[in-house]
Amino acid sequence: MDGNLFVLFVLATFLGGFVSGFSGFAMGIVVSGIWLHIITPIQTAALIAGYGLLTQGYGIAKLRHELSWQSIWPLTLGTAIGIPIGVVLLTHINPTYLRCGVGVLLVLYATYSLLRPPVKPMKIAAPADIAIGISNGLLGGLTGLGGIISTISCQWRGWSRDKQRSVFQPALFAAFVIISISQLIAGSYTAETLKLYGIGLPFMVAGIWIGFKLYGTINDEIFRKTVLILVLLVGASLIVSASGLVPAFQARS
């Protein structure tokens, strides 16, 4: 990797860490736009999963005072169930149409939610939460977006920003554990990939730290709008990848 590509790689890594530190998700969307042009799709997916364990683990540790197993386990269990099902279904579904359809829905949802006031908080029971988690995992297995539905569902409940992150980040962590194990078995973590991980690690950590510091200065409404803007960008990225302009890959966050 020459000097210019090195700068692009570490810059994308830092920005991915920053966005994850600030919002709790979307690291994969940020880094993939650059990484896919300088490293292979397999390396990109492996690094996103590996760094995802770091970003989500950091967020969970910082928000441990808000952790509630009663709120966490339904989404996490559902996600763990849904991911392998989604991976299996991927062999029977046209991924291009799926990404485009999901992308359009996310763009419409985010746009509508940004233009109207917040809805009245919803109460969601554990069985419904498990179903949401399964949907979250299914979408993760099918598109690589392992946490987008759980993130949206946390907004529906009217929770504080800390409470939302303390629930959807464990679900994302569980998704990355499953994805990382799958990639390890598949042999995606080569010596070259591990070298890239080590190179980017300090920049990822710096980005997470700065992003979380900035997160501490915002209120719940700014966080709500930030999440919706990121959901909008996620949807747009799916539409673009479905168009063939950007290669699609798994393990996005």
29 within a domain of the structure (yes/no):
yes
> pLDDT value at position 144?
72
The pTM of this model reads 0.84
Question: Which of 48-62, 80-94, 127-141, 148-162 is least confident?
Answer: 80-94
The helix (H) or strand (E) run that includes residue 201 is: helix 191-215
What is the distance between the alpha carbons of residues 128 and 131, in angstroms, rounded to a whole number?
5
User: Which value, in Å, is the radius of gyration of the alpha carbons in the chain?
Assistant: 17
Q: Which residue has the higher pLDDT, 131 or 249?
A: 131
**Residue 225 neighbours by CB distance under 10 Å:** 15
* Number of folded domains that form the chain: 1
Parent domain of 23: 3-243
Which of 184, 159, 154 has its CA nearest to residue 172? 154
> pLDDT value at position 253?
60
7 within a domain of the structure (yes/no):
yes
> pLDDT value at position 251?
56
193 within a domain of the structure (yes/no):
yes
Q: Which residue has the tokens 């946490």?
A: 147
pLDDT(70) > 80 = yes
249 within a domain of the structure (yes/no):
no
Tokens, residue 27: 């690291």
- 144 alpha carbon, distance to own chain's centre: 8
> pLDDT value at position 163?
94
Which of 81, 173, 92 has its CA nearest to residue 136? 81
81 within a domain of the structure (yes/no):
yes
Question: Which of 55-64, 96-105, 129-138 is least confident?
Answer: 96-105
Which of 154, 207, 147, 152 has its CA nearest to residue 21? 207
Q: How do residues 189-223 score in pLDDT, each as one tens digit?
A: 999 999 999 999 999 999 999 999 999 999 999 99
Average pLDDT over residues 95-115: 85
Q: What angle do CA 226, 101, 23 make, to 5 degrees?
A: 15
Please report which confidence band the pLDDT of residue 42 belongs to, taking 50, 70 and 90 as the band edges: confident
Q: Contact, 220 vs 161, CB < 8 A?
A: yes
> pLDDT value at position 252?
58
250 within a domain of the structure (yes/no):
no
For 87-123, letters b (16+ CB in 10 Å) and e give: beebeeeeeeebbbebbeebbeebeebeeeeeeeeee
251 within a domain of the structure (yes/no):
no
Please report which confidence band the pLDDT of residue 248 belongs to, taking 50, 70 and 90 as the band edges: low
20 within a domain of the structure (yes/no):
yes
User: What percent of the chain lies above the pLDDT cut of 70?
Assistant: 96
